[in-house]
Amino acid sequence: MRVDQAGPIGWVVFEHPGRHNALTGPMMAEMLSVVDRLAHDESVRVVVLRGDGDRAFVSGADISALGSSAGIDRGPNLEDVTAALANLTKPVIAALRGWCLGAGVLVATAADLRIAGDDVRVGIPAARLGVAYPRSGVDRLVALAGPAVAAEMLMIGDPLDASASLRAGLVNRVVAADDLFDHVETVARSVATNAPLTLAASKLAITAVQRPPGDPAGAAADQAVAACFGSEDFQEGRRAFAEKRPPAFGGR
């Protein structure tokens, strides 16, 4: 794992090019540490996930390492890693180029936004390997694309190309592959100018509306929304609007 910070953007890079950025146990352990560090770094407003190079985002788990000290079965539970990403209060964008398979789909669907190059291939070959896809991954897949697409991906296993991924709702937008990372940086910088408390409240609200009535997520979202109205950022937003200037939000 590698973290490259560019102003308010924290680029988190899956760096295992010899295996098309397939995940290992040590990578998962490092990912938990990276997410925790970014969560507490006030200089980072937006987190972007990407794969090293231009051939893959994450091509799944490194099957060749299973059973060894580098195996994904020896590291943290992958669902714990994706939960940490999903629960990060900062916006998370997944920049998808090339292969996004299996565990890569788990990681990508834990992000808030998925922007893909037109060379992306999104698939879940679990049935061809004899493993079952984690329940949390199925939950997110169904929430994004619906049960019919989830069944196709899990039972047939053929990867979806960029157009099919966009139609299914797996990605928010598709751009030319060579322009992907520049485009994602532009989007990330735009998001980073917005009020951090509002962004965090929006994430909580989006999660809450997908939960059953009475779930604690609803109360947490309501509290976060109410807190925005008493924040310094709301006062700054009002002043900036009246003065016809860009706001300078501090996250307070």
DSSP letter for 244, please: T
Per-residue pLDDT of 50-87, as tens digits, reads 999 999 999 998 887 676 766 676 667 888 999 999 99
Helix (H) or strand (E) holding 57: strand 56-58
List the one residue out of 56, 57, 74 whose CA is nearest residue 65: 74
Ranges of H-type helices in 146-195: 147-155, 162-168, 180-192
Cβ-Cβ contacts under 8 Å for 158 (sequence gap 6 or more): 123
Count of alpha carbons within 13 angstroms of residue 116, beta-carbon side:
28
- Asked whether the beta carbons of 199 and 233 are under 8 A apart, the reply is no
What pLDDT digit, counting tens, does each position of 101-156 carry?
999 999 999 999 999 999 999 999 999 989 889 999 999 999 999 999 999 999 99
Where do the structural domains in the chain lie, given as residue ranges? 2-192, 196-243
Kindly state the greatest CA–CA separation across the chain: 62
Encoding tokens for residue 204?
A: 């909580």
What lies within 8 Å, CB to CB, of 60 at 6+ separation is 22, 23, 101, 102, 103, 104, 125
pTM for the whole structure: 0.94
Output the pLDDT for position 75. 67
Superfamily of domain 2-192: 2-enoyl-CoA Hydratase; Chain A, domain 1 (3.90.226.10)
Read off the pLDDT of residues 173-194 as tens digits, 9 standing for 90 and up. Answer: 999 999 999 999 999 999 999 9
What's the CA angle centered on 36, arms 180 and 89, to 5 degrees?
65
Q: Is 123 exposed, middle or buried (0-12, 13-18, 19+ CB in 10 A)?
A: buried
